Structures are given as structure tokens and as C-alpha cells.
């Protein structure tokens, strides 16, 4: 399956990730400040970023869904990614559609992650007709927890992953026709 989703918001364009984004992924993922709450270490080689991009392209192919690059409309800067992912690793007992976001540090604090996440949920429910979207954030990750609350997700439980305590959030599609 191909993904050619383009989502436009007031200040952003979300578009499919491309192999030409690898250098931007490296800049994003080699910054230790970005990785404080991600439960693993920042990348150190371009090869790791190539694998990251290949993983997203594989999601597109397998599931017709995946994270999208966020580009700032006014400058055309690649500022990070957001969007949906069919998550098969985080919860032991089930797979689910995850909403996530990761931005280059110089773009934090402008409401971009909130804007991208809201548009992604709208696309998931009204474009893809998903039944439910979920998210997880380490309980100490104040900013991510603030965003997930702000976009209307409900915190329903906590769980442990890799020895870290995470909050679990869900939001359901209220369109009656969704499966």
C-alpha cells in the first residue's frame, strides 16, 4: 500500500516521509534532549536514521499508515514528525493505532505538536475510519501528558515498559459507522 496523505493545518503540512529526510531525522534523533523520555539512547550514526526512515516506509507498505513528516508552511522547514503508527511492540497483549510526535528542539513551545496531533486524530477518525487511537507517555513527561490531555484523550491506566511507568491514553471515534 502506498501512503500519499497530505494534511494541512493552519501553520503546518504533514506529508509522507521520504528517503531525502534522512539528514533531518539524524539532526532530530541525535539530540539527547529529544530522547529524555523515549526510553532509549539518541542515534549516533546516519545508518540508524536510515533504518528509522526505512521502518516508517515499511509501515506505509504493510499497513497503509505511518508517521508523517511535519513541514512548516511559511519556511518549508522539516521540523519533525507526528501522526499515526500501527504499534506492535509497546503493549504485551495487543496492537493498536498510536498517536505520537517528535520535533527538533528549536521548534518546541509553539503549539506545533498539539496542532499536528489534533489534525492526525481527525484524519485517523474521519479519513481512515479508525475505531480508537491510543498513546503512551512516561508519567514524568509533563509536556507530552499536557498535549495528550489537551487533544481530548482520556488517561485510563498506567503500565510498565522497560522498567518505566507510563500513562496510557485512549480516544474513541464517535462516528457510528466506524468498525
Ligand X SMILES: CC(C)(COP(=O)(O)OP(=O)(O)OC[C@H]1O[C@@H](n2cnc3c(N)ncnc32)[C@H](O)[C@@H]1OP(=O)(O)O)[C@@H](O)C(=O)NCCC(=O)NCCS
Rule CB under 6 A: choose which of 142, 152, 159, 175 binds ligand X.
Answer: 142
Separation of alpha carbons 23 and 46, rounded Å: 7
Separation of alpha carbons 90 and 95, rounded Å: 8
Binding to ligand X, residues 13-72 (CB under 6 A): 34, 37-38
The answer to the question of residue 119 lying near ligand X (CB under 6 A) is no
How many CA within 13 A on the CB side of residue 105? 10
- Cβ 158 to ligand X shortest distance, Å: 14
Rule CB under 6 A: choose which of 15, 67, 85, 141 binds ligand X.
Answer: 141
Q: Which helix (DSSP H) or strand (DSSP E) does residue 166 occupy?
A: strand 164-172
Rule CB under 6 A: choose which of 47, 150, 165, 175 binds ligand X.
Answer: 150
Residue of 130, 121, 125, 173 lying closest to 150 (CA atoms): 121
What residues make contact with ligand X under the rule CB under 6 A? 34, 37-38, 101-103, 108-114, 137, 141-144, 146-147, 150
Amino acid at each position: 500500500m502506498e501512503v500519499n496523505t497530505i494534511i494541512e493545518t493552519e501553520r503546518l503540512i504533514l506529508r509522507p516521509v521520504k528517503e531525502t529526510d534522512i539528514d533531518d531525522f539524524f539532526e532530530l534523533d541525535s539530540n539527547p534532549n529529544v530522547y529524555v523520555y523515549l526510553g532509549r539512547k539518541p542515534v549516533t550514526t546516519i545508518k540508524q536514521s536510515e533504518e528509522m526512515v526505512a521502518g516508517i516506509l515499511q509501515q506505509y507498505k504493510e499497513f497503509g499508515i505511518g508517521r508523517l513528516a511535519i513541514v512548516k508552511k511559511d519556511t518549508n522547514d522539516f521540523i519533525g514528525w507526528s501522526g499515526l503508527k500501527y504499534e506492535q511492540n509497546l503493549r504485551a497483549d495487543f496492537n493498536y493505532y498510536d498517536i505520537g510526535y517528535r520535533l527538533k528542539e528549536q521548534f518546541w513551545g509553539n503549539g506545533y505538536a498539539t496542532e499536528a496531533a489534533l489534525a492526525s486524530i481527525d484524519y485517523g477518525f474521519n479519513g481512515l475510519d479508525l475505531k480508537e487511537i491510543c498513546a503512551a507517555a512516561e508519567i514524568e513527561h509533563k509536556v507530552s501528558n499536557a498535549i495528550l490531555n489537551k487533544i481530548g484523550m482520556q488517561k485510563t491506566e498506567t503500565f510498565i515498559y522497560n522498567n518505566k511507568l507510563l500513562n496510557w491514553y485512549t480516544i474513541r471515534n464517535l462516528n457510528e459507522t466506524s468498525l
